[in-house]
Structure 1
Amino acid sequence: MATYLFRKPSALPGFRLTLSIALGYLSLVVLIPLAFAFFKVSTLSLPQFVAAVASPRVVASYRLTFTAALLGALINAVFGFIIAWVLVRYAFPFKRLVDAAVDLPFALPTAVAGIALAALYSPNGWIGALLAPLGVRVAYTPLGVFVALTFIGLPFVVRTVQPVLAEFEREQEEAAACLGASRWRTFSRVVLPAIVPALMTGFALAFARALGEYGSVIFIAGNVPMASEITSLVIVTKLEQYDYAGATAVAAVMLAASFAVLLLVNTLQWWLQRRISRASRAVQARFPSAMAVEASAQ
């Protein structure tokens, strides 16, 4: 049966050829460079590895990078969903312009984004001048790192949630309203379960992207060791000092952390989808006549 499925007519070449091309390209672009990174780490002894990845300066960069990335991804999960909701559900002037503006962090070079953010939030910048009398400093502080990581992570959430909202059937909301459900109950019981997997994917992508960000952060962070220095800058500093093994060791830790986050999110998505499928089957078993009417209406 499996052989028959693989031999079905297709617009692309056969399964074996396309699989070989896919695995070869994936290995060349992703797997081989990552394997070399871990091979370089293997040249260090265990005490040397621990000294490279657990020094006070590196640990402080971990703390700042992971905290700012997590907070930025959480903020983007909330406001990215709101932006996606507005873009999908409402028509308003300059909607296409707003939709295109979401992709600016993708299109802008990271260095340009960092310079723009530093100029905007510096004490004499447009926003920084308004915050200075309140005693709030953004540029050249850890708060600037948070702002930069939030800026580069927003498109991941919006572009992940937006197509799911566009394909969501509004008849489900109307049915819940007809049955007497409040707006909050309709949102929490009907809309939210359908978009949670996409929202988690956007959150994970934004978080993983923020962990490795460099260009947009160094211009606004201040780069003070033990205070506003991110892990990416620590890696670059080690490379400039010809400490290739130490830089690779820190990079391997960040790579493992990013992979763990993506694996955790994918596992949660799988669990949520199974739970949603079970709930759907339970509803169909409890109300078979209503489901049959809905199917016939469609």
Structure 2
Amino acid sequence: MTLQGRTAVVTGAAQGLGKAIALALASAGADIVACDIQDDKLADLTEEIHTLGRACLPVRCDVSDPVAVDQMFAEAADWFGTVHILVNNAAIVPSSPADTERRNLHYAYLTTPIGRRSLGITSSLTDEDWLKWWDVNVHGVFYCTRAALRYMEPQRHGRIVNISSIAGMSAASAHSPGYSAAKAAVASLTKTVALDVAGANILVNAIACGGVLTPPFQAYLDNATPEQKNSLYQMIPVGRLGTPEEYASLAVYLAGDNHYLAGQIISPNGGAVI
């Protein structure tokens, strides 16, 4: 139980990667503050964490609202005394029909012998297409980080794990320029905050995920043709997506004390970006 006595805030905790991380942290001994906007799934997660013998405070919170974020951390401190760990996982991902169409266009372009041309993705994006990524994916990370540091700095201890993406470090998600830019911003924020707070024994790092077999990605695969699936897997040397549990094990490690990592962007991605 390497995280015994620690309290961890996990955003976007109700399903997918966030749920896997919350359960893994609880299995390692941490009590959990589970943040999401899906009340029914938060209730299910809370029950699962209780079966692991850990406490769980479910909080409905939109991380793009700074007032709601501050209230969540105040409630967490009321329940558990303080916060030791923050996992900034909440995000919106490219999953709309237009996103899927652009994704398939991009994958086909990379994996089939067709003539070189502009894909026309960036020039066709609307202001809404661009702006929709920032409130949750970037501003939410900042709001939660700021709130967590107000507890971590006085106690001179903390761990922050940001969930970024290979989209922010490569052209792997050229089908979604706004999402890619937002995840790059998370990686950059990770580095600057890490330098700011490392002297207070607060270690800030990021996981730049490759493909994660979450519900949105599973939904894409369920509706994809065999050719579209093959195009995706052809770009991943190990030939499959990572499971949420594989990523969660790294989050637990970064949340603990047995490492010397600060400001690092670690990318489990099956060789998709080397």
TM-score, reference length from structure 2: 0.26
Superposition TM-score, scaled by structure 1 size: 0.24
Higher share in strand: 2
| Higher RCO, 1 vs 2 (CA within 8 Å, ≥6 residues apart) | 1
Structure with greater helix share of residues: 1
